[in-house]
Amino acid sequence: MSEATLRAEGLTKSFPGVRALDGVDLSLRAGEVHVLLGENGAGKSTLIKILSGAYRPDEGRVLMDGRPVEIRDAGDARRLGISTIYQEFNLVPDLSVAENLSLGRLPRRFGLVDTAAMQRRARELLERVDVRVDPRTPVRRLGIARMQMVEIAKALSLDARVLIMDEPTAVLTTGEVGKLFAIVRRLRDEGVAIVFITHHLEEIAEIGDRVTVLRDGRSVAEVPAGTPQDELVRLMVGRPVDQQFPRRPAELGEPLLSVRGLTRRGAFDDVSFEVRAGEVVGLAGLVGAGRTEVARAVFGADRYDAGEVFVRGRRLPPHDVHAAMEAGLGLVPEDRKGQGLVLGAGIGENLGLVTLRDATRAGFVDLKGQRTAAARVAEQLGIRMTGLDQEVRTLSGGNQQKVVIGKWLAAQAGVLILDEPTRGVDVAAKVEIYQLVNALTDSGHAVLMISSDLPEVLGMSDRILVMARGRLVGELRADEATQDGVMALAVTDVAGSRAE
Ligand SMILES: Nc1ncnc2c1ncn2[C@@H]1O[C@H](COP(=O)(O)OP(=O)(O)OP(=O)(O)O)[C@@H](O)[C@H]1O
Ligand SMILES: [Mg+2]
């Protein structure tokens, strides 16, 4: 067997109050896709941050081609041929795509930045990942799926021997995942050693060769990627987890949310639907179908040109988030980093953000009540933290996700819109979130759930609405819906006839 391209031995890393890694070993061969699997907070990102020079280990060493190497910073990693796509995007939002792709390596002529060369190179890189976007576009204007593709293009530009990808598929749609996998296979065949992190178990057998399982900061197993899913889950969680969707239909009451004729030119057109007390309505469709746009307009985050939104029969003023929240509407946004969290504040404070108003009684903020509520939600969601004061910035990706969802659970909004609620969340925590959704509808709340995960939409909705190109094109009862049925509607073209 060939020498490992990279070996990590006995890596240990502690942060205040938590041992993130405890003697972890990893061996990477040239030409393999090595999957890192573990629950939220298991230490996956910490491990790859050591390999990419973002963190120094407390103990342990890294060898390349059998020789110990020092990775003190990102420059060292780059010189050793280690390239990383981080879970948190590393792009600068106000710079253009081309500038981001050249960051730190701007082509110069006569001391000036050679813009033409920069654009040309950006175009080539974007072509490699098959993404159509003008290199002059500011990154902040891209959706998160395209941001991720730019991030990938950037990592590819370094011609790495070791390519590390931290949950690259979390924000991608099926089509883009296909493109990414084609790129990954090509690089693997060229002999690149690839580390691939994902919470989508079905991707493991499809793209992986071997799997290292981390649990509580330890490497507990190294198994082939073809290992059955329930066995992988058992290794990662330490016990079997029922991956079924535990939807428990509740008794339906009055319509709590009514949307009539909602239209924003160029985005969505004549969208009407209702969600009743006790009901989970799934909103399915391809990315770009306009689901997030509708959700944001309903919540008042964006304007609309025509139509009306009612909560409990009361009409909401358009483009007024405060009025929407006042009326008992909540939105867990798709882009949590950008819109959901105050990263520098503690978990308790973040969980309390939307309840602050409720907690203010006669001018006093009921801090104690707020903390009790926050502690309860953190416990329910199993947020892995050192305490409520830990800064959200230092939580693992999946645990940050849970804080955003928890924030709205703590707020007890009557109508909750969840936009991709389980993205980046491990299998065990997903089930917890589903159970919370059940608890919400049991107590008379209404839930609108946008999800690109078809089994999830089918498994957790009572009724499924399908959007295509800005229009609602169909509605299915959960018990009669199939993945194929939803997909057939999702590719409907605007004229109403089905695409082949
Ligand atoms: N900078 C930091 N300061 C304090 N604690 C940290 C820091 N970075 C990570 N941690 C902690 O280390 C542990 C491991 O986190 P890590 O990000 O490696 O998890 P992960 O396996 O990538 O999880 P996820 O699937 O949620 O992304 C967590 O308990 C996290 O809160
Ligand atoms: Mg992580």
DSSP track, 424-481 = T--HHHHHHHHHHHHHHHHTT-EEEEE-S-HHHHHHH-SEEEEEETTEEEEEEEGGG-
Please answer whether residues 289 and 311 qualify as being in contact, where contact means their C-beta atoms are separated by less than 8 angstroms.
no
Tell me if 336 is assigned to some domain. Answer: no
Tell me if 173 is assigned to some domain. Answer: yes
Which of 131, 80, 67 has the alpha carbon at shortest distance from 101? 131
The closest ligand to the CA of 18 turns out to be: 1
> In angstroms, what is the span from residue 20 Cα to ligand 1's centroid?
6
Tell me if 1 is assigned to some domain. Answer: no
CA 103/CA 284 separation, integer angstroms: 37
Tokens 């007390």 label which residue? 277
Token couple for 196: 């691939």
Give Cα 44 to chain centroid, integer Å.
15
CA 8/CA 61 separation, integer angstroms: 6
Task: Classify strands 255-264 and 268-276 as parallel, antiparallel or unpaired.
Answer: antiparallel
State which amino acid sits at residue 89: F
How many domains are contained in the chain? Answer: 3
pLDDT value at position 423? 85
**Of 205, 237, 269, at which residue does a domain stop?**
237
pLDDT value at position 250? 87
Supply the residue whose CA is at minimum distance from atom 7 of ligand 1. 394
> In angstroms, what is the span from residue 170 Cα to ligand 1's centroid?
17
> In angstroms, what is the span from residue 267 Cα to ligand 1's centroid?
37
Bridge partners of 62, per DSSP, are 8, 69
Run of H or E including 202: helix 201-207
Please answer whether residues 376 and 439 qualify as being in contact, where contact means their C-beta atoms are separated by less than 8 angstroms.
no
Tell me if 123 is assigned to some domain. Answer: yes
> In angstroms, what is the span from residue 149 Cα to ligand 2's centroid?
18
Residues with CB under 6 A from ligand 1: 15, 18, 20, 38, 40-46, 87, 384, 394-399
Residues, beta carbon < 5 Å, ion ligand 2: 45, 87, 396-397
CA angle 49, 205, 486 (to 5 degrees): 105
Tell me if 333 is assigned to some domain. Answer: no
pLDDT value at position 92? 82
**Of 354, 378, 410, at which residue does a domain stop?**
410
Judgement on whether residues 195 and 315 belong to the same structural domain of the protein: no
Low-confidence ranges of the chain (pLDDT < 50): 358-362, 495-500
pLDDT value at position 381? 80
The closest ligand to the CA of 20 turns out to be: 1
> In angstroms, what is the span from residue 371 Cα to ligand 1's centroid?
23
Tell me if 421 is assigned to some domain. Answer: yes
Judgement on whether residues 439 and 477 belong to the same structural domain of the protein: yes
Q: Which of 49, 196, 396 to mutate to test the pocket of ligand 1 (most atoms within 8 A of CB)?
A: 396
Judgement on whether residues 217 and 250 belong to the same structural domain of the protein: no
Query: What three-state secondary structure class fits 13?
Result: strand
Judgement on whether residues 349 and 442 belong to the same structural domain of the protein: no
**Those residues with Cβ within 8 angstroms of residue 408's Cβ, 6 or more apart along the chain or in another chain:** 330, 331, 332, 354, 416
Bridge partners of 108, per DSSP, are 113
Tell me if 283 is assigned to some domain. Answer: yes
Token couple for 444: 């008379």
CA angle 114, 116, 118 (to 5 degrees): 70
Judgement on whether residues 215 and 82 belong to the same structural domain of the protein: yes
| Domain containing residue 484: CATH number | 3.40.50.300
Which of 252, 259, 271, 245 has the alpha carbon at shortest distance from 446? 252
Q: Which of 46, 48, 384 to mutate to test the pocket of ligand 1 (most atoms within 8 A of CB)?
A: 46
Supply the residue whose CA is at minimum distance from atom 27 of ligand 1. 397
Tell me if 334 is assigned to some domain. Answer: no
Judgement on whether residues 323 and 460 belong to the same structural domain of the protein: yes
Q: Which of 11, 12, 15, 85 to mutate to test the pocket of ligand 1 (most atoms within 8 A of CB)?
A: 15
pLDDT value at position 227? 97
pLDDT value at position 264? 96
Tokens 């709590």 label which residue? 256
CA 488/CA 500 separation, integer angstroms: 9
Judgement on whether residues 87 and 31 belong to the same structural domain of the protein: yes
470-478 own/partner pairs: CB under 8 Å, 24+ apart = 470/267, 470/268, 470/269, 470/289, 470/290, 470/293, 470/494, 471/268, 471/269, 471/270, 471/271, 471/290, 472/271, 472/272, 472/273, 475/273, 478/247, 478/282
pLDDT value at position 132? 84
Supply the residue whose CA is at minimum distance from atom 8 of ligand 1. 394
Please answer whether residues 291 and 283 qualify as being in contact, where contact means their C-beta atoms are separated by less than 8 angstroms.
yes
CA 174/CA 286 separation, integer angstroms: 9
Q: What is the residue range of 365's domain?
A: 342-396+403-410
State which amino acid sits at residue 463: R
Judgement on whether residues 147 and 205 belong to the same structural domain of the protein: yes
The closest ligand to the CA of 212 turns out to be: 1
Please answer whether residues 7 and 28 qualify as being in contact, where contact means their C-beta atoms are separated by less than 8 angstroms.
yes
CA 343/CA 209 separation, integer angstroms: 36
pLDDT value at position 47? 97
> In angstroms, what is the span from residue 87 Cα to ligand 1's centroid?
11
For the chain, count helices (H), then strands (E): 18, 24
CA angle 115, 120, 121 (to 5 degrees): 100
**Of 237, 266, 283, at which residue does a domain stop?**
237
**Those residues with Cβ within 8 angstroms of residue 175's Cβ, 6 or more apart along the chain or in another chain:** 286
The closest ligand to the CA of 47 turns out to be: 1
Judgement on whether residues 459 and 477 belong to the same structural domain of the protein: yes
Judgement on whether residues 165 and 57 belong to the same structural domain of the protein: yes
CA 432/CA 237 separation, integer angstroms: 14
Which of 311, 327, 307, 248 has the alpha carbon at shortest distance from 274? 311
Give Cα 180 to chain centroid, integer Å.
16
> In angstroms, what is the span from residue 396 Cα to ligand 2's centroid?
5
> In angstroms, what is the span from residue 46 Cα to ligand 1's centroid?
6
pLDDT value at position 338? 67
Can you tell me which atom of ligand 1 is nearest the CA of 44?
21
The closest ligand to the CA of 55 turns out to be: 1
Give Cα 336 to chain centroid, integer Å.
8
Judgement on whether residues 222 and 248 belong to the same structural domain of the protein: no
Judgement on whether residues 261 and 116 belong to the same structural domain of the protein: no
Token couple for 422: 């389980």
Can you tell me which atom of ligand 1 is nearest the CA of 38?
21
